[in-house]
Structure 1
Amino acid sequence: MPKRSQFPDEQSDDGNFNRQEDAFRDWVRADGSSAYPAIAGRYHLYVCYACPWAHRIIIARELKGLQDAIGMTAVDPWRDDRGWAFRDGDGFSADPINDFQFLSEAYHATDAAYRGRFTVPVLWDKETKRIVTNSDDDLLRMFNSEFNAVARHPELDLCPVDYLDEIDRLNAIIYDKVNNGVYRAGFASEQAAYEKAVAPLFATLDALDDHLSRQRYLIGGRLTETDIRLFVTLVRFDAVYHGHFKCNLRRIVDYPALGAYLRDLYQHPGIADTVRIDHIKTHYYATHTEINPTAIVPVGPDLDFTTPANREHLA
């Protein structure tokens, strides 16, 4: 019996999920060296609270205090074959900038010949009326430094130069084995491809649990972008990846250090307000119909990220 895949253009013949590359990667520069200067009010961010890649940028915008400088609109977490849609609802809304009905309109306004998948986040330039970038990797760095002149918290450095090599090294591991690893397991269309993704996922989680048993944050004793990158997967893990994506060797709550670390980050000022478990569960369970044909959204699990983390004593 032929097997359907969530994104057939990103599925190999052997059942592996191979994520597409980001389509637009221009940069906003504070020094004026690009076509996009760092001006307050010029750019608008399109996101989805359900998407972990977009969630990273929502957190960075919140922590850096860029809410007044960069507007933001969230799409409906329920997605069909037309892609992300702008609708009014609880935590999402119609597009106030371009009156787009679908995010695809932003992509086609930028490149009429674009034929890839329409992804969030998107940074839109209101002056040139095109997408600057849909790369969350680049946006994390831009929001960290290029908009400091218009940020409420310019002193916060999520990517300190002294730790850049270690940040890049650990980012690559976490992306490959954890952030994208859960997707390679969940979207696998063959048993071997699924098992090939699950084994390194849990080996990496085991290693991270050991690492975090000795220090509060991943790198340098301070919050960095690497913590944000890991957080967005951990906060979704027990709610959707454990069951929906069959990543069920262990839950995050079963890890002593990782579980406490997740609660510690959730309780960091500004982060809890960026987490919408309702959006997350609606998106994964109701729109991945190749995985969950009934589109039934489970009522559980009962998650509590507010209990004390007790990690302040760690280095």
Structure 2
Amino acid sequence: MAGDGEFERDRSYITTRITADGRDGYPVEPGRYRLIVARACPWANRAVIVRRLMGLEGVLSMGVAGPVHDERSWTFHLDPGGRDPVLGIERLQEAYFRRQPGYPRGITVPAIVDVPTGEVVTNDFERITLDLGSQWTAHQRDGAPDLYPQRWRDEIDDVADKLYRDVNNGVYQCGFATGQKAYDKAYRALWERLDWLENRLGGRRYLVGDTITEADVRLFPTLVRFDAVYHGHFKCNRQKLTELPALWAYARDLFQTPGFGDTVDFEQIKAHYYVVHSDINPTGVVPRGPDTSNWLSPHGRERFGGRPFGEGTPPAPPPSAERVPPLGHAAGERGA
């Protein structure tokens, strides 16, 4: 926290990359690595979406940490015996410590672990999704979309920077602010940007160009958590997402697109925020609402045209072990 109560995110990540040429010592190899995520976490949600869209389920396995953790780390309490079935560990912290004993920074998801050594390779969430799209091309499915097309990269980067500063991280700056001025500043920036997005999406289907791009992947996880968590729990309560016509329709459009809504578990999302953030919600009571059935209502965004996957095709349904419960159903989940 800054002196005025402003939340400051530690962005000192392990930036080693897994690349096609192995320049950092970690070459792309089917079956060698395991993507560790939590369904609750928006930053991890991005990686789950891109892995689905690229069709990498058969070459990059995925472990799912449970939604509730303590100060030491994410745990695999949803798996049999409370251990990840591939890595054999109870806490993600163990993989970080194998990379760097006593690792002093945040134990975050997403993280990619080198299975033979049990060491975390990277937890750089921004780079992970870009590299899944660009470095794993030899193993992507036929019809995998280009989420970072060369002709749109400058605009994608500009939009993504605005999203991170004011929206993706902005909701946390509201929720974790410990001073009124810090909260007011974050609240204003958040809603100025959401108004900007409402206007931008009022006449176009996607954020950049006429297909889904990295920019949409980065916005969706925040929007899908907005009414369930950020509106009340993080005090981002000027309006609900459902009260913003363009953004609400846009979010439903993506939710109903294969690879997006089928990665979302609302029960795990709520369990994480309302239980883990005991300083914000000391009772640990998890709200029953909101009703999520409206995520499947017609969105009408087809009128703007656009091709969700560009020259590509939708991904196949997720593997049975990775399917999330249907809307309105609470259930546990295991990694693949």
Q: Same fold (TM over 0.5)?
A: yes
- The equivalent position to 2:216 in structure 1, one of 227, 239, 243, is 227
- The equivalent position to 2:42 in structure 1, one of 43, 52, 64, is 52
Maintained 8 Å contact 1:45/1:70: yes
Matches within 5 A, 1:58-207: 58-88=48-78, 94-153=83-142, 155-207=144-196
Cα 1:102–1:285 shift into 2, 3 Å:
same
Q: CA deviation at 1:80?
A: 1.4
- The equivalent position to 1:250 in structure 2, one of 230, 236, 239, is 239
- The equivalent position to 2:6 in structure 1, one of 16, 24, 30, is 16
- The equivalent position to 1:277 in structure 2, one of 238, 249, 266, is 266
Residue ranges of structure 2 left out of the alignment (5+ in a row): 306-336
The aligned counterpart of 1:6 is none
- Structure 1 counterpart of 2:51, one-letter code: R
- Structure 2 counterpart of 1:179, one-letter code: N
Aligned length: 304
Give the share of equivalent positions with the same residue, in percent.
44
> Over aligned residue pairs, what C-alpha RMSD do you find?
1.5
- Structure 2 counterpart of 1:279, one-letter code: Q
Deviations, residues 225-282 of structure 1 (Å, cap 9, x unaligned): 1001000000000000000000000111101100000000000012221000000000
Q: CA deviation at 1:33?
A: 3.0
**Secondary structure at 1:36 match in 2:** coil
**Secondary structure at 2:35 match in 1:** strand
Q: Is 2:301 the partner of 1:292? A: no
Residue ranges of structure 1 left out of the alignment (5+ in a row): 1-10
TM-score (structure 2 length as normaliser): 0.88
Deviations, residues 175-200 of structure 1 (Å, cap 9, x unaligned): 00000000000000111111110001
**Secondary structure at 1:102 match in 2:** coil
Aligned-partner Cα distance in 1 for 2:199–2:55:
33
Aligned-partner Cα distance in 2 for 1:155–1:65:
7
The aligned counterpart of 2:318 is none
**Secondary structure at 2:121 match in 1:** strand
Aligned-partner Cα distance in 1 for 2:142–2:252:
23
- The equivalent position to 1:267 in structure 2, one of 237, 252, 256, is 256
Q: CA deviation at 1:86?
A: 1.1
Q: CA deviation at 1:81?
A: 2.1
Cα 1:178–1:141 shift into 2, 3 Å:
same
- Structure 2 counterpart of 1:37, one-letter code: P
Maintained 8 Å contact 1:75/1:93: no
Cα 1:93–1:252 shift into 2, 3 Å:
farther
Aligned-partner Cα distance in 2 for 1:214–1:38:
40
Aligned-partner Cα distance in 2 for 1:76–1:82:
14
Q: CA deviation at 1:161?
A: 0.9
Deviations, residues 139-185 of structure 1 (Å, cap 9, x unaligned): 01111111111121464110011111011111000000000000000
Cα 1:215–1:67 shift into 2, 3 Å:
same
Between stretches 150-159 and 59-68, larger displacement belongs to 150-159
Between stretches 269-278 and 217-226, larger displacement belongs to 269-278
Maintained 8 Å contact 1:73/1:93: no
Q: Is 2:43 the partner of 1:41? A: no
**Secondary structure at 1:117 match in 2:** coil
Deviations, residues 75-118 of structure 1 (Å, cap 9, x unaligned): 1101112221111269x963122211111111111001311121
Maintained 8 Å contact 1:63/1:153: no
The aligned counterpart of 2:205 is 216
Aligned-partner Cα distance in 1 for 2:178–2:246:
32
The aligned counterpart of 1:30 is 20
Aligned-partner Cα distance in 2 for 1:123–1:140:
11
Aligned-partner Cα distance in 1 for 2:146–2:248:
25
Between stretches 134-143 and 24-33, larger displacement belongs to 24-33
- Structure 2 counterpart of 1:171, one-letter code: A
